[in-house]
Structure 1
Protein backbone atom coordinates (compact mmCIF):
# COMPACT_ATOMS: atom_id res chain seq x y z
CA UNK A 1 0.00 0.00 0.00
CA UNK A 2 1.21 3.54 -0.74
CA UNK A 3 0.21 6.68 1.16
CA UNK A 4 1.48 9.87 -0.54
CA UNK A 5 2.80 11.20 2.78
CA UNK A 6 4.16 7.91 4.12
CA UNK A 7 5.30 5.97 1.05
CA UNK A 8 5.04 2.28 0.36
CA UNK A 9 4.43 0.19 3.47
CA UNK A 10 4.63 -3.53 4.23
CA UNK A 11 1.15 -4.80 5.03
CA UNK A 12 1.70 -8.55 4.69
CA UNK A 13 4.68 -9.07 7.00
CA UNK A 14 4.69 -12.87 6.99
CA UNK A 15 4.71 -12.97 3.18
CA UNK A 16 7.38 -10.26 3.12
CA UNK A 17 9.67 -12.30 5.36
CA UNK A 18 9.20 -15.35 3.17
CA UNK A 19 9.88 -13.38 -0.01
CA UNK A 20 12.98 -11.81 1.55
CA UNK A 21 14.37 -15.21 2.47
CA UNK A 22 13.97 -16.31 -1.14
CA UNK A 23 15.44 -13.10 -2.55
CA UNK A 24 18.54 -13.43 -0.36
CA UNK A 25 19.06 -16.99 -1.63
CA UNK A 26 19.02 -18.43 1.88
CA UNK A 27 21.68 -15.97 3.11
CA UNK A 28 19.44 -13.44 4.82
CA UNK A 29 20.77 -14.15 8.32
CA UNK A 30 24.37 -13.99 7.12
CA UNK A 31 23.81 -10.68 5.32
CA UNK A 32 22.01 -9.03 8.23
CA UNK A 33 24.65 -10.26 10.68
CA UNK A 34 27.19 -8.41 8.54
CA UNK A 35 24.97 -5.31 8.54
CA UNK A 36 24.83 -5.47 12.33
CA UNK A 37 28.63 -5.67 12.46
CA UNK A 38 28.96 -2.68 10.11
CA UNK A 39 26.75 -0.61 12.41
CA UNK A 40 29.43 -0.72 15.11
CA UNK A 41 26.81 -1.39 17.80
CA UNK A 42 28.28 -2.06 21.24
CA UNK A 43 26.93 -3.18 24.64
CA UNK A 44 24.94 -0.42 26.28
CA UNK A 45 24.17 1.43 23.02
CA UNK A 46 20.81 3.00 22.29
CA UNK A 47 20.00 2.00 18.71
CA UNK A 48 17.21 3.15 16.39
CA UNK A 49 16.17 1.13 13.33
CA UNK A 50 14.27 3.46 10.98
CA UNK A 51 11.83 1.61 8.73
CA UNK A 52 12.32 -1.53 10.77
CA UNK A 53 9.67 -3.50 8.88
CA UNK A 54 9.18 -6.94 10.40
CA UNK A 55 11.91 -6.29 12.97
CA UNK A 56 14.41 -8.72 11.48
CA UNK A 57 17.44 -6.45 11.88
CA UNK A 58 16.39 -5.31 15.36
CA UNK A 59 16.37 -8.94 16.49
CA UNK A 60 19.87 -9.44 15.07
CA UNK A 61 21.09 -6.28 16.82
CA UNK A 62 19.49 -7.03 20.20
CA UNK A 63 22.19 -9.41 21.56
CA UNK A 64 24.88 -6.88 20.63
CA UNK A 65 23.53 -4.14 22.93
CA UNK A 66 23.40 -6.35 26.02
CA UNK A 67 23.94 -5.57 28.78
CA UNK A 68 22.17 -2.29 29.30
CA UNK A 69 21.33 -1.28 25.73
CA UNK A 70 18.09 -0.97 23.81
CA UNK A 71 17.04 -1.31 20.17
CA UNK A 72 14.01 0.68 19.05
CA UNK A 73 12.32 0.01 15.74
CA UNK A 74 10.05 2.54 14.04
CA UNK A 75 7.79 1.87 11.07
CA UNK A 76 4.56 3.39 9.69
CA UNK A 77 2.72 0.09 9.05
CA UNK A 78 0.46 -1.07 11.93
CA UNK A 79 0.37 -4.74 10.89
CA UNK A 80 4.12 -4.86 10.53
CA UNK A 81 4.73 -3.24 13.92
CA UNK A 82 2.33 -5.75 15.52
CA UNK A 83 4.21 -8.60 13.82
CA UNK A 84 7.56 -7.27 15.07
CA UNK A 85 6.29 -6.78 18.63
CA UNK A 86 5.03 -10.36 18.76
CA UNK A 87 8.58 -11.58 18.06
CA UNK A 88 10.55 -9.02 20.07
CA UNK A 89 13.28 -10.08 22.49
CA UNK A 90 13.59 -8.15 25.73
CA UNK A 91 16.00 -5.53 24.40
CA UNK A 92 13.68 -4.47 21.55
CA UNK A 93 10.75 -2.08 21.44
CA UNK A 94 8.72 -0.74 18.52
CA UNK A 95 6.96 2.52 17.66
CA UNK A 96 4.64 3.63 14.91
CA UNK A 97 6.13 6.50 12.95
CA UNK A 98 7.39 7.95 9.69
CA UNK A 99 11.08 8.30 8.87
CA UNK A 100 10.59 11.92 7.80
CA UNK A 101 8.84 12.93 11.05
CA UNK A 102 10.30 10.94 13.95
CA UNK A 103 8.56 11.68 17.24
CA UNK A 104 11.73 11.16 19.24
CA UNK A 105 14.00 13.55 21.18
CA UNK A 106 17.13 15.13 19.74
CA UNK A 107 20.43 13.34 20.38
CA UNK A 108 18.74 10.34 21.99
CA UNK A 109 20.53 7.48 20.17
CA UNK A 110 24.11 6.29 19.76
CA UNK A 111 23.48 4.49 16.47
CA UNK A 112 20.81 4.82 13.78
CA UNK A 113 20.40 2.15 11.13
CA UNK A 114 18.06 1.99 8.18
CA UNK A 115 18.02 -1.09 6.00
CA UNK A 116 16.02 -1.31 2.77
CA UNK A 117 13.70 1.49 3.90
CA UNK A 118 14.77 4.78 2.26
CA UNK A 119 13.44 3.63 -1.10
CA UNK A 120 9.97 3.31 0.51
CA UNK A 121 9.98 7.00 1.51
CA UNK A 122 8.51 9.39 -1.10
CA UNK A 123 11.38 10.91 -3.09
CA UNK A 124 10.50 14.45 -2.00
CA UNK A 125 10.72 13.42 1.69
CA UNK A 126 13.98 11.43 1.63
CA UNK A 127 16.12 14.42 2.55
CA UNK A 128 13.88 15.10 5.55
CA UNK A 129 14.09 11.43 6.55
CA UNK A 130 17.90 11.44 6.62
CA UNK A 131 17.88 14.77 8.48
CA UNK A 132 15.61 13.20 11.10
CA UNK A 133 17.96 10.24 11.46
CA UNK A 134 20.81 12.69 12.07
CA UNK A 135 18.76 14.80 14.49
CA UNK A 136 18.08 11.94 16.88
CA UNK A 137 21.75 10.92 16.95
CA UNK A 138 24.04 12.22 19.65
CA UNK A 139 27.07 14.21 18.40
CA UNK A 140 29.54 11.70 17.06
CA UNK A 141 26.81 9.09 16.66
CA UNK A 142 26.92 6.58 13.85
CA UNK A 143 24.51 6.32 10.91
CA UNK A 144 24.32 3.26 8.65
CA UNK A 145 22.02 3.17 5.63
CA UNK A 146 21.71 0.01 3.53
CA UNK A 147 19.84 -0.08 0.24
CA UNK A 148 19.31 -2.36 -2.72
CA UNK A 149 21.89 -2.25 -5.49
CA UNK A 150 20.37 -5.02 -7.58
CA UNK A 151 21.94 -6.70 -10.59
CA UNK A 152 20.11 -6.14 -13.84
CA UNK A 153 20.60 -9.53 -15.45
CA UNK A 154 20.89 -13.16 -14.43
CA UNK A 155 19.13 -15.48 -11.99
CA UNK A 156 19.67 -13.26 -8.93
CA UNK A 157 18.11 -10.30 -10.74
CA UNK A 158 15.08 -12.39 -11.68
CA UNK A 159 14.57 -13.76 -8.17
CA UNK A 160 15.10 -10.40 -6.51
CA UNK A 161 12.96 -8.28 -8.85
CA UNK A 162 9.75 -8.48 -6.74
CA UNK A 163 11.52 -6.81 -3.78
CA UNK A 164 14.08 -4.65 -5.62
CA UNK A 165 11.97 -3.09 -8.36
CA UNK A 166 11.60 0.09 -6.28
CA UNK A 167 15.36 0.49 -5.66
CA UNK A 168 16.69 4.03 -5.48
CA UNK A 169 17.17 5.70 -8.84
CA UNK A 170 19.45 6.52 -10.58
CA UNK A 171 21.48 4.52 -8.04
CA UNK A 172 21.69 4.20 -4.26
CA UNK A 173 25.23 5.59 -4.39
CA UNK A 174 24.10 8.81 -6.06
CA UNK A 175 20.99 9.29 -3.91
CA UNK A 176 22.64 8.64 -0.54
CA UNK A 177 25.73 10.71 -1.36
CA UNK A 178 23.39 13.64 -2.00
CA UNK A 179 21.28 13.15 1.15
CA UNK A 180 23.81 12.55 3.91
CA UNK A 181 26.10 15.65 3.87
CA UNK A 182 23.23 18.21 4.09
CA UNK A 183 21.99 16.34 7.18
CA UNK A 184 25.32 16.92 8.93
CA UNK A 185 26.77 13.49 8.25
CA UNK A 186 30.36 12.84 7.29
CA UNK A 187 30.60 9.69 5.17
CA UNK A 188 33.26 7.34 6.51
CA UNK A 189 32.79 4.09 4.59
CA UNK A 190 30.94 2.97 1.47
CA UNK A 191 30.70 -0.57 0.23
CA UNK A 192 28.69 -3.45 -1.14
CA UNK A 193 27.30 -6.59 0.40
CA UNK A 194 26.54 -9.57 -1.81
CA UNK A 195 24.28 -10.45 -3.37
CA UNK A 196 22.65 -7.05 -3.99
CA UNK A 197 23.20 -4.39 -1.33
CA UNK A 198 25.04 -1.05 -1.04
CA UNK A 199 25.81 0.58 2.29
CA UNK A 200 27.11 3.91 3.51
CA UNK A 201 28.32 4.56 7.05
CA UNK A 202 28.56 8.12 8.40
CA UNK A 203 29.34 9.99 11.60
CA UNK A 204 27.02 12.84 12.56
CA UNK A 205 28.62 16.04 13.84
Structure 2
Protein backbone atom coordinates (compact mmCIF):
# COMPACT_ATOMS: atom_id res chain seq x y z
CA UNK A 1 0.00 0.00 0.00
CA UNK A 2 1.35 3.46 -0.95
CA UNK A 3 1.62 6.17 1.65
CA UNK A 4 -0.90 8.23 -0.30
CA UNK A 5 -3.54 5.55 0.14
CA UNK A 6 -2.63 5.17 3.81
CA UNK A 7 -3.10 8.89 4.49
CA UNK A 8 -6.34 9.38 2.57
CA UNK A 9 -9.79 8.34 3.68
CA UNK A 10 -10.30 6.80 0.25
CA UNK A 11 -8.29 6.20 -2.90
CA UNK A 12 -7.83 9.61 -4.46
CA UNK A 13 -8.04 10.02 -8.23
CA UNK A 14 -5.93 12.92 -9.43
CA UNK A 15 -8.93 15.00 -10.55
CA UNK A 16 -11.61 13.86 -8.13
CA UNK A 17 -10.14 15.35 -4.99
CA UNK A 18 -10.04 13.85 -1.53
CA UNK A 19 -9.26 14.51 2.10
CA UNK A 20 -6.43 13.49 4.40
CA UNK A 21 -7.82 12.13 7.64
CA UNK A 22 -4.74 10.91 9.48
CA UNK A 23 -3.02 14.05 10.77
CA UNK A 24 -0.29 12.40 12.83
CA UNK A 25 0.70 10.12 9.95
CA UNK A 26 0.62 13.12 7.60
CA UNK A 27 3.04 15.10 9.79
CA UNK A 28 5.41 12.14 9.93
CA UNK A 29 5.20 11.69 6.16
CA UNK A 30 5.77 15.43 5.60
CA UNK A 31 8.83 15.44 7.85
CA UNK A 32 10.29 12.53 5.90
CA UNK A 33 9.28 13.97 2.54
CA UNK A 34 10.98 17.29 3.23
CA UNK A 35 14.15 15.52 4.41
CA UNK A 36 14.19 17.49 7.62
CA UNK A 37 13.72 20.80 5.80
CA UNK A 38 9.98 21.29 6.25
CA UNK A 39 10.35 24.17 8.70
CA UNK A 40 12.80 25.98 6.43
CA UNK A 41 10.61 25.65 3.34
CA UNK A 42 7.43 26.77 5.10
CA UNK A 43 9.22 29.67 6.77
CA UNK A 44 10.24 30.82 3.31
CA UNK A 45 6.66 30.40 2.13
CA UNK A 46 5.45 32.47 5.06
CA UNK A 47 7.97 35.17 4.18
CA UNK A 48 6.85 35.14 0.54
CA UNK A 49 3.26 35.72 1.71
CA UNK A 50 4.37 39.07 3.22
CA UNK A 51 2.41 38.83 6.50
CA UNK A 52 2.05 42.00 8.56
CA UNK A 53 1.21 42.71 12.16
CA UNK A 54 -2.55 42.99 12.52
CA UNK A 55 -3.36 40.99 9.38
CA UNK A 56 -6.51 38.92 9.11
CA UNK A 57 -5.28 35.73 7.45
CA UNK A 58 -7.11 32.77 5.91
CA UNK A 59 -5.32 29.45 5.25
CA UNK A 60 -7.38 27.39 2.78
CA UNK A 61 -6.62 23.70 3.18
CA UNK A 62 -4.71 24.31 6.40
CA UNK A 63 -4.25 20.62 7.22
CA UNK A 64 -2.62 20.22 10.62
CA UNK A 65 -2.12 23.99 10.90
CA UNK A 66 1.63 23.88 10.26
CA UNK A 67 1.82 27.07 8.17
CA UNK A 68 -0.59 28.95 10.44
CA UNK A 69 1.64 28.28 13.44
CA UNK A 70 4.60 29.77 11.57
CA UNK A 71 2.59 32.86 10.58
CA UNK A 72 1.07 33.28 14.05
CA UNK A 73 3.86 35.23 15.82
CA UNK A 74 4.36 37.54 12.82
CA UNK A 75 0.81 38.96 12.81
CA UNK A 76 0.48 39.49 16.56
CA UNK A 77 -0.63 41.20 18.72
CA UNK A 78 -3.80 42.24 16.90
CA UNK A 79 -3.88 39.87 13.93
CA UNK A 80 -5.83 36.65 13.58
CA UNK A 81 -5.52 33.52 11.43
CA UNK A 82 -8.41 31.29 10.37
CA UNK A 83 -7.57 27.82 9.10
CA UNK A 84 -10.07 25.95 6.92
CA UNK A 85 -9.90 22.28 5.91
CA UNK A 86 -12.47 19.71 4.73
CA UNK A 87 -11.16 17.05 7.13
CA UNK A 88 -12.62 17.15 10.67
CA UNK A 89 -9.65 15.07 11.85
CA UNK A 90 -7.22 17.70 10.59
CA UNK A 91 -9.23 20.52 12.17
CA UNK A 92 -9.38 18.71 15.52
CA UNK A 93 -5.62 18.16 15.43
CA UNK A 94 -4.89 21.79 14.49
CA UNK A 95 -7.24 23.10 17.17
CA UNK A 96 -5.47 21.12 19.88
CA UNK A 97 -2.22 22.89 18.96
CA UNK A 98 -3.73 26.29 18.18
CA UNK A 99 -1.92 29.47 19.23
CA UNK A 100 -4.14 32.08 20.85
CA UNK A 101 -4.60 34.00 17.61
CA UNK A 102 -5.60 31.01 15.46
CA UNK A 103 -8.97 29.31 14.97
CA UNK A 104 -9.85 26.40 12.71
CA UNK A 105 -13.05 25.50 10.85
CA UNK A 106 -14.22 22.58 8.73
CA UNK A 107 -15.08 23.67 5.21
CA UNK A 108 -14.10 23.63 1.53
CA UNK A 109 -12.32 26.20 -0.57
CA UNK A 110 -15.02 26.38 -3.21
CA UNK A 111 -17.62 27.50 -0.64
CA UNK A 112 -15.87 29.80 1.81
CA UNK A 113 -18.20 30.72 4.70
CA UNK A 114 -16.96 34.30 5.10
CA UNK A 115 -18.25 37.74 4.05
CA UNK A 116 -16.69 39.64 1.17
CA UNK A 117 -13.43 41.40 2.01
CA UNK A 118 -12.91 39.57 5.31
CA UNK A 119 -9.15 39.02 4.99
CA UNK A 120 -5.91 40.86 4.26
CA UNK A 121 -4.04 37.72 3.24
CA UNK A 122 -5.12 34.32 1.88
CA UNK A 123 -2.65 31.44 1.71
CA UNK A 124 -3.05 27.90 0.46
CA UNK A 125 -0.24 25.35 0.48
CA UNK A 126 -0.36 21.85 -1.00
CA UNK A 127 -4.16 22.03 -1.06
CA UNK A 128 -5.34 22.85 -4.60
CA UNK A 129 -4.41 19.40 -5.91
CA UNK A 130 -6.68 17.82 -3.26
CA UNK A 131 -9.73 19.70 -4.57
CA UNK A 132 -11.92 18.22 -7.31
CA UNK A 133 -10.70 19.62 -10.64
CA UNK A 134 -14.10 21.13 -11.41
CA UNK A 135 -14.09 23.01 -8.08
CA UNK A 136 -10.64 24.59 -8.35
CA UNK A 137 -11.60 27.69 -10.40
CA UNK A 138 -14.44 28.46 -7.98
CA UNK A 139 -12.07 28.07 -5.03
CA UNK A 140 -9.84 30.79 -6.52
CA UNK A 141 -12.87 33.00 -7.14
CA UNK A 142 -13.88 32.52 -3.52
CA UNK A 143 -10.41 33.49 -2.34
CA UNK A 144 -10.67 36.65 -4.44
CA UNK A 145 -14.10 37.43 -2.96
CA UNK A 146 -13.04 37.15 0.68
CA UNK A 147 -9.91 39.27 0.21
CA UNK A 148 -10.16 43.03 0.66
CA UNK A 149 -9.04 45.21 -2.26
CA UNK A 150 -5.25 45.28 -2.12
CA UNK A 151 -5.21 41.97 -0.26
CA UNK A 152 -2.52 39.39 -0.93
CA UNK A 153 -2.65 35.78 -2.12
CA UNK A 154 -0.01 33.05 -1.92
CA UNK A 155 -0.62 29.65 -3.53
CA UNK A 156 2.03 26.95 -3.07
CA UNK A 157 2.03 23.55 -4.72
CA UNK A 158 4.21 20.51 -5.09
CA UNK A 159 6.62 20.52 -8.04
CA UNK A 160 7.24 16.95 -9.23
CA UNK A 161 10.83 16.06 -10.13
CA UNK A 162 11.80 16.25 -13.80
CA UNK A 163 13.29 12.77 -13.77
CA UNK A 164 10.59 10.29 -14.95
CA UNK A 165 11.69 7.56 -12.54
CA UNK A 166 11.64 9.94 -9.57
CA UNK A 167 8.25 11.28 -10.67
CA UNK A 168 6.88 7.74 -10.83
CA UNK A 169 8.24 6.99 -7.35
CA UNK A 170 6.57 10.13 -5.96
CA UNK A 171 3.29 8.99 -7.48
CA UNK A 172 3.58 5.56 -5.88
CA UNK A 173 4.28 7.07 -2.47
CA UNK A 174 1.84 9.97 -2.44
CA UNK A 175 -0.87 9.10 -4.96
CA UNK A 176 -1.68 10.41 -8.44
CA UNK A 177 -2.70 13.91 -7.36
CA UNK A 178 0.92 14.91 -6.70
CA UNK A 179 2.09 13.95 -10.20
CA UNK A 180 0.69 17.24 -11.55
CA UNK A 181 3.05 19.88 -12.85
CA UNK A 182 1.97 23.00 -10.92
CA UNK A 183 1.73 25.04 -14.13
CA UNK A 184 -0.74 22.49 -15.53
CA UNK A 185 -2.56 22.24 -12.21
CA UNK A 186 -3.06 25.99 -11.75
CA UNK A 187 -3.17 27.00 -15.40
CA UNK A 188 -4.71 30.48 -15.66
CA UNK A 189 -7.02 30.09 -12.66
CA UNK A 190 -5.35 32.80 -10.58
CA UNK A 191 -5.56 35.65 -13.13
CA UNK A 192 -8.92 34.33 -14.37
CA UNK A 193 -10.30 34.80 -10.84
CA UNK A 194 -9.33 38.49 -11.03
CA UNK A 195 -5.94 38.45 -9.31
CA UNK A 196 -2.89 40.34 -10.51
CA UNK A 197 0.02 37.91 -10.47
CA UNK A 198 3.14 39.57 -9.05
CA UNK A 199 5.69 36.78 -8.99
CA UNK A 200 6.26 33.06 -8.97
CA UNK A 201 9.16 30.99 -7.83
CA UNK A 202 10.66 27.70 -6.79
CA UNK A 203 11.72 26.62 -3.35
CA UNK A 204 13.83 23.66 -2.25
CA UNK A 205 12.22 20.26 -1.78
CA UNK A 206 10.14 20.52 -4.95
CA UNK A 207 7.90 23.45 -4.01
CA UNK A 208 6.50 26.14 -6.31
CA UNK A 209 4.55 29.27 -5.40
CA UNK A 210 2.57 32.08 -7.01
CA UNK A 211 2.13 35.43 -5.30
CA UNK A 212 -0.70 37.74 -6.36
CA UNK A 213 -2.86 40.63 -5.19
CA UNK A 214 -6.49 41.58 -5.50
CA UNK A 215 -6.61 44.94 -7.37
Tell me what 2:106 maps to: 96
2:27 maps to which of 17, 35, 48:
17
2:178 maps to which of 167, 175, 185:
167
Structure ranking higher in strand proportion: 1
Structure-1-length-normalised TM-score:
0.92
CA contact (8 A) 1:119 1:168 kept: no
Superposed CA RMSD in Å reads: 2.1
CA contact (8 A) 2:167 2:179 kept: no
CA contact (8 A) 2:57 2:122 kept: yes
How far residue 17 of structure 1 moved from its aligned partner, in angstroms, is: 0.4
The answer to whether residue 120 in structure 2 is matched with residue 110 in structure 1 is yes
- 1:1-205 alignment to 2 at 5 Å? 1=9, 7-153=17-163, 160-161=170-171, 162-163=173-174, 165-167=176-178, 169=180, 171-205=181-215
In structure 2, how many angstroms separate the alpha carbons of the residues matched to 1:26 and 1:155? 23
Runs of 4+ deviating beyond 4 Å: 154-161
- CA deviations 1:47-92 (Å, max 9, x no partner) are 0000000110010110110110001100010111000000011111
SS in 2 for 1:19: helix
In structure 2, how many angstroms separate the alpha carbons of the residues matched to 1:109 and 1:197? 25
How far residue 158 of structure 1 moved from its aligned partner, in angstroms, is: 7.5
Judging changes above 3 Å, is the alpha-carbon distance between structure 1 residues 82 and 192 closer, same or farther for their aligned structure 2 residues? same
The count of corresponding residues between Structure 1 and Structure 2 is 203
Judging changes above 3 Å, is the alpha-carbon distance between structure 1 residues 156 and 36 closer, same or farther for their aligned structure 2 residues? farther
Structure-2-length-normalised TM-score:
0.88
How far residue 176 of structure 1 moved from its aligned partner, in angstroms, is: 2.2
In structure 2, how many angstroms separate the alpha carbons of the residues matched to 1:150 and 1:112? 24
Question: Structure 2 unaligned runs (5+)?
Answer: 1-8
Question: Structure 1 unaligned runs (5+)?
Answer: none
In structure 1, how many angstroms separate the alpha carbons of the residues matched to 2:53 and 2:165? 39
- CA deviations 1:20-41 (Å, max 9, x no partner) are 0000000000000000000000
Relative contact order higher in (CA < 8 Å, ≥ 6 apart) = 2
How far residue 7 of structure 1 moved from its aligned partner, in angstroms, is: 2.8
